[in-house]
Amino acid sequence: MQPLQIDLNTDLKRLRDEGYEIEVMGGHIRVHHIPYVNNARKIAYGALVSELNQSNGRTLPPPTHVIFFIGDHPCNQDGSIMTGIQHGSATQTIAEGITVNHSFSNRPPNGYKDYFEKISRYADMISAPAVSLDVTVTAKTFRPVPENNIESVFHYLDTNASRANIQAISSKFKGQKIAIIGMGGTGAYILDQVAKTPVAAIHIYDGDRFLQHNAFRAPGAAAIEQLDGTLTKVAYYHQIYSRMHRNIIAHDCYVDESNFMELQDYDYVFVCIDKNRIRLSVIAFLVKNNVSCIDVGLGVIVAENNLVGTVRVTLGTFQKNDHIKLRISGSDEEVENEYNTNIQIAELNGLNAMLAVIKWKKLTGFYQDVKEEHHTTYSINVSQLLNEDTAA
């Protein structure tokens, strides 16, 4: 990932050129050595932190007038709290390496046009009581701050996470190795979501080619030139999602007993295949080797000139897997397997994938998981969502 270059952004360059100790950290900007008065009427130094709104390496106007602060709450010259900028006080980690203590609010009539205006305005307000006690104190030290070159799995910054202040929660995905077995409709939508998280690597498996019918249940829109049958599914999706995530590894093969051993190296595996016998063999191998797996299923049939059916997500872990054979048929015969139909619709593939991804994110601790269900079904015609096989 190319770091945002201060010299190419006039507002950041101006902050640095005027002497502020400016540091760009992923999706945030931190400015060190901001003098302030504490409640003991002593001069102390803190740091301002703001989300960094940017596109293609260029800063955009700040989306909010609120700013974070590291340090005690700034006070007036007499030691009383500066109430005019009070917003919130809570120690929280908003990104890797950034823990803040307070947030302040000062909103100009038209907002802040750039980061120079925002940072310098807050620095002046917070520093004013300190300067009144000692005219030599200043935030403009001209001291250089070493560049923070945190290697990222993304080709560009995740400013969505920084704007929402959920970078610290998103960091729970770091280091994970994910596998997606089967890149049909549902598997492709799972990749679409997982590729937007900072997991260490995403391995995708499928031996099929990407054909015209696949395009109508896949994320995005394939160009007609890509439908000549020369591209495999994994190659097609690798081309697209490698534009965002650096570590997508394509395996142009099916998963069977010959390569099961590869699967034990993953942290989580999404099973998106339509052959139940191999599906159950894969799941059995994974749970035996303490690899959590999330299996998906989609069954749609024609009934009275309408489509009806069910979307299914089943979780298997080393700790709980006794429900799997009750929820997934071991037969590949269509009459015995309600999920073994050829009807796939993009929105149902997408829903199937979203439910599976949400379950994975619950397991990771991104979302709270109170019920800890291991089996979820959504019935289309009655719009019913059922959660069963809880951990208890």
Q: Which residue has the higher pLDDT, 340 or 320?
A: 320
Q: Which of 164, 149, 151, 259 is nearest to 203 (CA)?
A: 259
Q: Minimum mean pLDDT among 142-151, 276-285, 351-360: which range?
A: 142-151
Residue 196 pLDDT exceeds 90: yes
Residue 2 — pLDDT band, cuts 50, 70, 90? very low
Question: What pLDDT was estimated at residue 307?
Answer: 92
Is the pLDDT at 283 greater than 60, yes or no?
yes
Tokens 């995403």 correspond to 202
Contacts of 154 (CB under 8 A, 6+ apart): 1, 198, 244, 245, 246
Burial status of residue 59 (CB atoms within 10 A of its CB: 0-12, 13-18, 19 or more): buried
List residues bridging with 34 in a β-sheet.
46
pLDDT band at 157 (very low <50, low <70, confident <90, very high): confident
Domains, the chain, with CATH or none: 6-151 (no CATH), 174-390 (3.40.50.720)
Contact assessment for residue 42 and residue 133, using Cβ atoms and an 8 Å cutoff: no
Residue 385 backbone zone (phi > 0: left; psi -120 to 50: alpha; other: beta) = beta
pLDDT at 304 (0 to 100): 87
The pLDDT score that the predictor gives to residue 164 is 80
8-17, 187-196, 304-313, 332-341: which range is least confident on average? 332-341
254 C-beta neighbours (distance < 10 Å), count: 16
The lowest-confidence range among 40-44, 62-66, 311-315, 340-344 is 340-344
What band does 333 get if pLDDT is binned at 50, 70 and 90? low
Enter the pTM of the model: 0.75
> What Rg, from alpha-carbon coordinates, does the chain have?
26
What tokens does 90 get? 């809570």
Q: Which residues contact 301 (CB under 8 A, 6 or more apart)?
A: 307, 308, 309, 338, 341, 343
Tally of CB atoms within 10 A around 305: 5
Question: Which has the higher per-residue pLDDT, 54 or 192?
Answer: 192
Q: What is the pLDDT of residue 140?
A: 96
The DSSP 8-state label assigned to residue 251 in this structure reads E
Residue 55 vs residue 357, higher pLDDT: 357
